[in-house]
Structure 1
Amino acid sequence: MADSDGEYNGDNASDDEFQVNGGSGPGTRSRNDKKGSRKAGKAAWEDIQRSWDQITEGVDGSLAATIEGLAEAEKRARLLRDTTPLQRGIIRHLVLVLDMSQAMAEKDMLPTRHTLTMAYARDFIREYFEQNPISQLAVIGMRDGIAVRISDMSGNPAEHHENLKEWTKKDPQGSPSLQNALEMCRGALFHTPTHGTREVLIIYGALMSSDPGNIHDTLTSLIKDRIRVSIIGLAAQVAICAEICSKTNGGSLSNYTVALHEQHFRDLLLAATTPPATRVEEQNTASLLMMGFPSRTLAAGDSIHYCACHSRPTREGYLCTRCGARVCRLPSECPACSLTLILSTHLARSYHHLFPLRNWVEVSWTEAKAKRSRACYSCMAPFPEIPAHITKPNKLDKAAGGGTTAGAVAARAIEGLSESGRYACAVCGNHFCIDCDLLAHEVLHNCPGCQSDTRGLTRDLNVAGLETSAEAAGDHTNGAMDIDT
């Protein structure tokens, strides 16, 4: 008997192993087929690419540069997005639906789906109002085959956090009901004004739905009321979820995704903070929206007033510019005259969705050497040292030790990652680090280099000084000619 651990040689096998009764019937394989398959190449399972194959050691034998490069690549991947200016609805009315059924007790996402969802929901509420300060939000839960109202439609994130904290302590139970949740969402969004968007975001962890009726009738009503539905699945794709998202979003399935892991779940949830683009068939003529911009007032002496929105005693607040009612915080809607009350900063923070900051481009070693940038323009953090010798553009000479620079390993594998650790604004041309790139695109939504550029101001001052000199000399014609020149 041949050794089972020895290498198998197919050429030495007998014909009986490949042919039965002189032929190659079903379940058999001829010698020629064996040789042909062996010559075809490697099997599919032999071409597996392992993630640790891309990790290489530096010249000093450490992995610090590689780890730093992979971390930078992860940050950069969050920034590579489409920055095309689109018409978006900056006044949003969104209902967040949370699955609180027994399926959320699974531990495939640690510690459990329910605990993780509640934690991410609080982060989503905070980020939602940071990016959309003049929008409204409501929270609904699904459990025991019914839909429960967690918080009403409001623009106050503190109320949502307080109401959500009470439901976090309750264990998930029962079955979810998509139809009941969507019908409750219709009731919350039916009275919202037409100038705002009507959206529903569902976090769904089950593979079934306990509905009291025909859910397709509810789907028809959602389409009629122009309500968009987006779903984030935690288990697997469900046919009815794909149909709901497709028919309420103009045939697009991009609003239905399944989270692969915890970080992917968080990214999908926070991506919903960006207002959706207005579809062509929904674009209407521009209409004016009346808003009030009240000032903050303090009660005189020791007097205490009651706010009209919560009927709570307060010493400070904002007076409605139309009726004079006192509200405790902004943005809000006046409970007396229904006037939208906001601050000018709220309107400015919502404006960046219409004209997003363009992505910064990667800087090669050749460009970095030409500009001689050694520190970030914004935070003054030092950049990696420029190699002494560069053989080709965008490439490093390994003899100079360029392969050990932070991010160089990941730059070869991930598109959009700078090999020099520098990122340049296409307008002002200044170089920034990856942390400032992340801060500018996700928090500031403005380029620090463009905001601090005084060349336009200097040109205006020079023009004004030239006009003043021309008037003093009594020769206006020469002054105008100098300006044109």
Structure 2
Amino acid sequence: MADSDGEYVGEDLSDDDLLGGPVASGADASSYGTRSKGPNDAGKKGDARKARGGGRSKAAWEDIQRSWENVVETEDGSVTIEALLEAEKRRRLLRDTTPLQRGIIRHLMLVLDMSFAMAEKDLLPNRYLLTLNYAVDFVREYFEQNPISQMGIVGMRDGIAVRISDMGGNPAEHIETLRVWAEQQEPLGNPSLQNALEMCRGSLFHTPSHGTREVLIIYGALLSSDPGDIHDTITSLITDRIRVSIVGLAAQVAICAELCARTNAGATTNYAVALHEQHFHELFLAATTPPVTHTTAPNTHSTDASLLMMGFPSRALAGTAAAAAAVSLCACHNRPSREGYACTRCRAKVCRLPAECPACGLTLILSTHLARSYHHLFPLRGWVEVGWAEAAAPSSRARGGCASCLAAFPPVPPGMGAPKIRVVGGGGGGPQELKVGGVSESGRYKCQVCGNHFCIDCDVFAHEVIHNCPGCQSDTRGLAGNGQGHAADAMVIDS
């Protein structure tokens, strides 16, 4: 008697192919296949034979209804997956929006661990490939949030530090180099934390004093093969005003915690260990926000007011009066091009902005670059959730849907209770502010300045992309401002 627990064989093969001859009959024929018998079983076998000349039919195990994709059972009852996604989006926005003094001109060295420890597969596909893929996302987001900053990349492998890309402001060059390393190199040898820090210190030594000096390390090993005393290197980093942040992939290391604490005025928030892939991605991209300036820290840059000369060139297109008819070489890459930006001081042509003029050294940017860096100093105030009672009020601004995308809100259920409003401050009769909480039960979120109601997608888009409130920007009365708060509050910078 044939074994009924044999391996499943695809249905695109006929019975003749399975048995190597005529079709078996009787009990032997029923021993092949793992599909349950039913009234339509014979028809399914016939369809499988027909599939040899056409498309392949699906097996029974391929049509799976996953109930957990639609409903998740919690203590409070059934919660749909849409509510969980909304809670995840809302969690990313629940951060402190207090205006702080930050350095918007940054000089960052990204250090990637490329040692034997990065071959581990606890982070899929492995630590090495995942880190390089996240590094590409980090480069894009870093220059998106800090367009007038610069960055360089260093690797740790085989007991030495290797330079992957030099300090520069062109994200395309960094991304191209990272992809080459991902395709052609493999993790090798032991990491050397001291060698990497010394190379970063040399790269940041000649950076101007008006910018920040930072080092971000992605560390996957539990050891460091150093040629000397790393404590001497930490002392040199403090003297050169270099701040170090580390994202660990294995476990907490004592020397990493000491390094981050000593170079960040005792702060312990600059060192974290990733729990999983999503947590690793969040910790990685968290470094795109400029660090807070500590005026009392020994490693901070000078806070004295100084003027920085910059140029704002206009784009010269081929065929216009401002551009030459012939193709010319750009001064930054020596490549022929018809378009570019002419330096306002020496008229040298560069192909992209922001950049530093190769001829005279003048910083060339656009006005939009400054505007995109400005939101770090005065972040958009968080929007508060709206209860059912407030959404059902006759004076509610949610009658026509979302104030930005005009999407319809869920209808208000009958018989809802009074609104739950949490108030912080204002004990002495001063202005009161609603505290930003979690997920809104009505799917509505209100701007504290203009009072308009928005959906969760517009909430995420306004706080992570445009950094402005659409309702405040469209207010023709001039009462709302820009969503960052009132004028008296926006000018306060807490150091």
TM-score (norm 2): 0.75
Q: How does 1:308-457 map to 2 (within 5 A)?
A: 308-370=331-393, 371=396, 373-374=398-399, 375-394=401-420, 415-456=437-478
CA RMSD of aligned residues (A): 1.9
| Aligned-residue offset at 1:326 | 1.1
SS at structure 2 position matched to 1:142: strand
| Aligned-residue offset at 1:457 | 8.8
| Aligned-residue offset at 1:261 | 0.7
Per-residue CA deviations over 1:264-287 (Å, capped at 9, x if unaligned) read 111111111000111122452210
Which moves more between the two structures, 277-286 or 169-178?
277-286
| Aligned-residue offset at 1:304 | 1.2
Matched, 1:135 2:149: yes
1:122 to 136, 148, 151: 136
Residue 365 of structure 1 contacts residue 394 of structure 1 at CA under 8 Å; is this kept in 2?
A: no
| Aligned-residue offset at 1:336 | 1.1
2:304 to 285, 291, 298: 285
Per-residue CA deviations over 1:416-440 (Å, capped at 9, x if unaligned) read 2111111000000000011100000
Residue 93 of structure 2 contacts residue 460 of structure 2 at CA under 8 Å; is this kept in 1?
A: yes
SS at structure 2 position matched to 1:138: strand
Residue 307 of structure 1 contacts residue 327 of structure 1 at CA under 8 Å; is this kept in 2?
A: yes
Per-residue CA deviations over 1:106-155 (Å, capped at 9, x if unaligned) read 11111111111111100000000000000000011111011110100000
Residue in structure 2 matched with residue 470 of structure 1 by the alignment: none
Count of residue correspondences:
384
Quick one: distance in 1 between partners of 2:402 and 2:146?
A: 30
2:329 to 298, 306, 310: 306
Per-residue CA deviations over 1:157-215 (Å, capped at 9, x if unaligned) read 01101111111111111111100000000011000000000000000000001111111
2:74 to 47, 54, 57: 54
Question: Structure 1 residues 434, 328: closer, same or farther in 2, change over 3 A?
Answer: same
Residue 55 of structure 1 contacts residue 66 of structure 1 at CA under 8 Å; is this kept in 2?
A: no
Quick one: distance in 2 between partners of 1:393 and 1:201?
A: 45
Counterpart residue identity of residue 180, structure 2 = E
Quick one: distance in 2 between partners of 1:391 and 1:424?
A: 19
SS at structure 1 position matched to 2:373: helix
Residue in structure 2 matched with residue 184 of structure 1 by the alignment: 199
1:150 to 155, 158, 164: 164
Residue in structure 2 matched with residue 79 of structure 1 by the alignment: 93
Counterpart residue identity of residue 373, structure 1 = A
Structure 2: gaps of 5 or more residues = 1-71, 422-435, 481-495
Per-residue CA deviations over 1:380-409 (Å, capped at 9, x if unaligned) read 1111110111144349xxxxxxxxxxxxxx
Structure 1 runs (4+) greater than 4 angstroms displaced: 55-58, 299-302
Counterpart residue identity of residue 159, structure 1 = E
Residue in structure 1 matched with residue 286 of structure 2 by the alignment: 271
Residue 214 of structure 2 contacts residue 243 of structure 2 at CA under 8 Å; is this kept in 1?
A: yes
Quick one: distance in 2 between partners of 1:197 and 1:456?
A: 36
Per-residue CA deviations over 1:29-56 (Å, capped at 9, x if unaligned) read xxxxxxxxxxxxxxxxxxxxxxx76266
Counterpart residue identity of residue 311, structure 2 = G
Larger RCO: 1 or 2 (CA < 8 Å, sep 6+): 1
1:107 to 108, 118, 121: 121
Quick one: distance in 1 between partners of 2:167 and 2:187?
A: 24
SS at structure 2 position matched to 1:115: helix
Residue 57 of structure 1 contacts residue 66 of structure 1 at CA under 8 Å; is this kept in 2?
A: no
Quick one: distance in 2 between partners of 1:382 and 1:392?
A: 23
SS at structure 2 position matched to 1:455: coil
Quick one: distance in 1 between partners of 2:77 and 2:98?
A: 39
Quick one: distance in 1 between partners of 2:132 and 2:365?
A: 29
SS at structure 1 position matched to 2:246: strand
Counterpart residue identity of residue 138, structure 1 = G
TM-score (norm 1): 0.77
More helix, by proportion: 1
Quick one: distance in 2 between partners of 1:304 and 1:279?
A: 49
1:93 to 107, 131, 135: 107
